[in-house]
Amino acid sequence: MQLLQGASDDILTVASSTLCNLLLEFSPSKEPILESGAVDLLCGLTRRQDPALRLNGIWALMVMGASVIGVS
């Protein structure tokens, strides 16, 4: 997550769309990503001006929330 701090919007858009998939319930990389600060990054994306970044941030947080409550 540290690599994404200060990255351009284009890089953040691609990285955040990838995170949406890596945070799915069955993903083996989910826990390490969460432990590295993904939630803070994704929350920050929801406040960005770029609509794609806001969408990706919200979508990834929604994916994480759905797996917590057991919605698939």
Please tell me whether residue 26 adopts helix, strand or coil conformation: coil
Report DSSP state, residue 70.
Answer: T
Would you list the DSSP string of 22-67?
HTSTT-TTHHHHHHTTHHHHHHHHTTSS-HHHHHHHHHHHHHHHHH
- Provide the 10 A C-beta neighbour count for residue 13: 18
pTM of the model: 0.82
The per-residue pLDDT for range 3-44, each reduced to its tens digit, is: 777 889 999 999 999 999 999 888 899 999 999 999 999 999
Contact assessment for residue 9 and residue 45, using Cβ atoms and an 8 Å cutoff: no
